Structure 1
Amino acid sequence: MQPFIQFESVSKSFGSLAVIDSLDLTIHKGEFLSLLGPSGSGKTTILMMLAGFERPTRGTITLDGMRIDQLPPHRREMGVVFQNYALFPHMTVAENVAFPLEMKRLPRHEIARKVERALDMVRLGHLKNRRPSQLSGGQQQRVALTRALVFEPRVILMDEPLGALDKQLREHMQLEIRELHKRLGLTIVFVTHDQSEALTMSDRIAVFNAGKVEQIDSPHAIYDTPRTRFVAQFIGETNLIEADVVNVQNGHATIVLGADLAAKVRSGPELQAGQKALFSLRPERMRLGADPAGDNALDMTITDCIYHGDHMRVQLAKGNFTFTARCERLAGNWTVGTPVVVSFDPRDCTVLAP
């Protein structure tokens, strides 16, 4: 697939502080790419360089084969949506949406037509004469999104656009943006530190740490087969344990986790007998009280049960070795001190070379 947006050996420093280091990144036309990482990982700086608000210290950025890193923001054909909406408080909804079209000096009748069509697209036509202060947070966010869409940009850039919304409204807006992306075939670059948001909305996720991409992949692959310790720990929740590799054979390995607990796991090509490895197993992949005839059946004891409404979090231990499992609320009558068999499939865990 031909690259639509390409970062080639891009670095960005502020004085002596290096924020981005030799970044190579390809974004395809029509895809929804999330830049995910903790605060200070460089993801917003990448968005600002793409928008034209910052320039790379080194390297090049191209859009559809044309170099853009030297172009001013207004010549890049990109719509930007910020967390604080950046709406003009003295303008109506329609006037806010019309603003970028007026800057392009389009005829008034064409502006009116485009504004009306854009507002109807996000179901805000009936609010066109209100001012931002008369709207809810979700409605303001939709106005900001509409203003970014109205001049039909080639790319939409979003910087933590849902961070100020409450949980229920944020989840609703995630689905709205996802539906707009699919319906209009938009190319969207979305900055977030919210793992759930990235997993829900994206075609691909680029996980950033200290100015570098740790892994770029589909949400499914990022969650189920993390390639580094950072990705395994940052995305979702996992039991991450240092283990000893005993043997490797026919695509599987036997490892010792601790307290003489041995497990059979999938083996990557880099695993070798006698080395240390990192074992990662998601809490929801574990079964309690299951048939111990499977590949992995560990005898442990329940040390705590925590109620979470739709599920239970169960703490398990044997000696100094501990696990956390997530169970359906009605999966069993688990109580502290109960011995239990913990089982899991070798395909459900990941083993990383250190």
Structure 2
Amino acid sequence: MTEQPYIEFRKVSKVFGSLTVVDHLDLTINKGEFVSLLGPSGSGKTTLLMMLAGFEDPTAGDILLGGSVLNRTPPYKRNMGVVFQNYALFPHLSVAENIAFPLKRRGVAKAEIAERVNRVLEMVQLPDQSEKLPSQLSGGQQQRVALARTLVFEPNVVLMDEPLGALDKNLREQMQYDIRRLHRDLGLTIVFVTHDQSEALTMSDRIAVFNHGKIEQIGTPQDIYDRPNTHFVAEFIGETNLIPVKYREGDHSRCSVTTKTGKDLEVTSPVTLFRGTEVLLSLRPEHIELGDSAEGLENAMPARISDVVYQGDHLRADIEVDGTKLVARLGRHLPPHDPGDEVFIGFRPQNARVILP
């Protein structure tokens, strides 16, 4: 028996004047799942989150929680916690008082409030900061307090809207792992809005990639990165090379394509197309091999090095193949190459994917 989704969006739309921000969108989320809504500014992801929280009403469609329609349920009755980018802490209240605030509003007894506040302070690793004011904390600590204030009333769902956007790189990465740990330890259902693809890949069970109010693709981080279905997803998630080719023949798993100079390549394809259809080949930089290891591959071809840049854990090489410029991410211990060197490059069929332009 298939588990009923915990959260459902059924043909949900949101229109502001003449602007459609969310467009007949369907999405299901299971209990205990961490789903990231990923996309550029204006793609509809935050609006969808605000409709789930009850801060915006859908223009059309239904939003369900546990099988019950939420459309006319006010925010305070949805038992959802929301964490924003700007923390929204009360500056005149201590850390403990900030965390206790939602419990006091719900009429929880003093002894239980103290117990719950101490418990969540341990969860977010701030047990010794309870008496400090927010201004005495770092940005990362303030965000932990905001998270603790959300967790303390044990919400059904935790909603996060770009919660790490104001933190510096090191703090942001640490908080990613902290939130991931809490999700795993507490079995939380989390809906997380971000425009940072690295953040989504690190934290999520599934990622929904938004574009112009629609979901272009939804899947596991590995699905989204290794098997993009559209031009937009291939370019938005990580770095990729997009090579114009023509479809020759194949089935739903493997096919042949031809480059503009007539080179035949064996690659993967999610669809079967007509012979001669113009498509793009998505090839991640780390899947390009160079030198001796490339010559024995099925898709091997001569190329010329344009530039090589040392980037610490890898080398970034700009390569020209049949007039097409590619980027390769290579091991740092490869023999040195200089601009102008003639080399062989290659890639395995399973690492290159046909997508429509």
The two structures share one fold, judged by TM-score above 0.5: yes
Is the contact made by 2:243 and 2:324 (CA closer than 8 Å) also made in structure 1?
no
Task: Report the RMSD for the aligned CA atoms in angstroms.
Answer: 1.3
Is the contact made by 2:288 and 2:329 (CA closer than 8 Å) also made in structure 1?
yes
Is the contact made by 1:259 and 1:321 (CA closer than 8 Å) also made in structure 2?
no
Residues 166, 251 of structure 1: CA spacing in aligned structure 2 closer, same or farther, 3 A cutoff?
closer
2:303 is the alignment partner of 1:297:
no
Give a deviation string over 1:6-47, Cα, whole Å, max 9, x none.
111111011111100111110100000000000000000001
- Once the two structures are TM-superposed, the CA of residue 261 in structure 1 deviates from its matched residue by 3.3
Whole-Å Cα distance in 2 between the matches of residues 66 and 285 of structure 1? 46
Residue correspondence of structure 1 range 182-261 to structure 2 within 5 A: 182-248=184-250, 251-261=253-263
The residue identity in structure 2 corresponding to 1:294 is L
- SS of 1:127's equivalent in the other structure is coil
- In the alignment, what sits opposite 1:348? 351
The counterpart of 2:167, out of the listed 165, 168, 178, is: 165
- Once the two structures are TM-superposed, the CA of residue 251 in structure 1 deviates from its matched residue by 4.7
- SS of 1:126's equivalent in the other structure is coil
Whole-Å Cα distance in 2 between the matches of residues 252 and 156 of structure 1? 41
- SS of 1:22's equivalent in the other structure is strand
Whole-Å Cα distance in 1 between the matches of residues 246 and 224 of structure 2? 24
2:92 is the alignment partner of 1:72:
no
> 289-298 or 194-203: which moved more?
289-298
- SS of 1:8's equivalent in the other structure is strand
Whole-Å Cα distance in 2 between the matches of residues 268 and 96 of structure 1? 51
Whole-Å Cα distance in 1 between the matches of residues 271 and 303 of structure 2? 31
Whole-Å Cα distance in 2 between the matches of residues 268 and 47 of structure 1? 31
Is the contact made by 1:270 and 1:353 (CA closer than 8 Å) also made in structure 2?
no
- Once the two structures are TM-superposed, the CA of residue 260 in structure 1 deviates from its matched residue by 3.5
Residue correspondence of structure 1 range 310-349 to structure 2 within 5 A: 310-349=313-352
Give a deviation string over 1:115-162, Cα, whole Å, max 9, x none.
111111212121000000000111001000000000000000000000
Give a deviation string over 1:63-102, Cα, whole Å, max 9, x none.
1011112111111000000000000000000000000001
Is the contact made by 1:259 and 1:318 (CA closer than 8 Å) also made in structure 2?
no
Whole-Å Cα distance in 2 between the matches of residues 225 and 331 of structure 1? 28
- Once the two structures are TM-superposed, the CA of residue 319 in structure 1 deviates from its matched residue by 4.3
- SS of 1:89's equivalent in the other structure is coil
Q: What residue ranges of structure 2 are gaps of 5+ in the alignment?
A: none
Aligned residue pairs total: 354
- In the alignment, what sits opposite 1:16? 18
Give a deviation string over 1:251-282, Cα, whole Å, max 9, x none.
53222223343311123332232211111000
Is the contact made by 1:271 and 1:353 (CA closer than 8 Å) also made in structure 2?
no
The residue identity in structure 2 corresponding to 1:334 is H
Is the contact made by 2:294 and 2:347 (CA closer than 8 Å) also made in structure 1?
no
The residue identity in structure 2 corresponding to 1:26 is T
Q: What residue ranges of structure 1 are gaps of 5+ in the alignment?
A: none
- In the alignment, what sits opposite 2:180? 178
Whole-Å Cα distance in 2 between the matches of residues 268 and 250 of structure 1? 5
Residue correspondence of structure 1 range 39-118 to structure 2 within 5 A: 39-118=41-120
The residue identity in structure 2 corresponding to 1:283 is P
Is the contact made by 2:87 and 2:146 (CA closer than 8 Å) also made in structure 1?
yes
Give a deviation string over 1:160-214, Cα, whole Å, max 9, x none.
0000111111101000000000000000000000000000000000000000000
> 314-323 or 73-82: which moved more?
314-323
- SS of 1:230's equivalent in the other structure is helix
The residue identity in structure 2 corresponding to 1:339 is E
Whole-Å Cα distance in 2 between the matches of residues 159 and 138 of structure 1? 16
- Once the two structures are TM-superposed, the CA of residue 106 in structure 1 deviates from its matched residue by 1.1
- In the alignment, what sits opposite 1:7? 9
Is the contact made by 1:248 and 1:273 (CA closer than 8 Å) also made in structure 2?
no
- SS of 2:295's equivalent in the other structure is coil
Percent sequence identity over matched residues?
56
TM-score by length of 2: 0.96
The counterpart of 1:128, out of the listed 123, 127, 130, is: 130
Whole-Å Cα distance in 1 between the matches of residues 252 and 120 of structure 2? 57
